[in-house]
Amino acid sequence: MFCPQCGASNQDGAVVCVRCGRNLSVATAPVFTQPAAMAQTPGVPTPGVPTPGVYVPNYLVFAILATVLCCLPAGIPAIVYAAQVNGKLQVGDIAGAQAASRNAKMWCWISFGVGLAIGLIYMLIITVGTIRRIGGH
């Protein structure tokens, strides 16, 4: 018989583990109970238990597109925050998931804005260069 706590091999019918001293006469299958402090209260999420019905957008697709098409340096934080949303929801951290979602959305828009500004400046430089070349002909 093996001890469920330390894994030591004990003689069959042993009452106490030879290594850790755990009482082996109790049922060997562990019984998991939720402590009273963590009891589920309506409307309050339990840590570690996914909350059904709560939707928080993660903006992962928008973050990836903004990173690839607009601005890489501003898109990387967007991807990092977007990737955190689902993990925080799974552990019941709704407030953390909402904050990560807001941050992902903000960095997506920053990446889009910077990419748009750089594109407009580039087009302005090309236009001015073309006009000067035609005018100086």
Question: Tokens 């979602």 correspond to what residue?
Answer: 101
Over residues 34-38, mean pLDDT: 50
Q: What is the pLDDT of residues 3-32, one digit of tens each?
A: 777 777 888 888 887 877 778 776 544 544
Query: How far apart are alpha carbons 30 and 126 in whole angstroms?
Result: 72
pLDDT of 48 over the 80 cut = no
Residue 35, both tokens:
């402590």
User: Could you tell me if 66 and 127 lie in one domain?
Assistant: yes
Query: How far apart are alpha carbons 114 and 122 in whole angstroms?
Result: 12
Residue range of the domain that includes 90:
56-135
- What total number of domains does the chain contain? 2
**Long-range contacts of 26-30, Cβ-Cβ distance < 8 Å, separation of 24 or more:** 28/1, 28/4, 30/4
Residue 11, both tokens:
């003689």
Q: What is the mean pLDDT of the chain?
A: 82
36 found inside a domain: no
User: Could you tell me if 90 and 127 lie in one domain?
Assistant: yes
Q: What is the pLDDT of residues 92-118, one digit of tens each?
A: 899 999 999 999 999 999 999 999 999
pLDDT of 68 over the 70 cut = yes
User: Could you tell me if 17 and 76 lie in one domain?
Assistant: no
Residue 128, both tokens:
């001015």
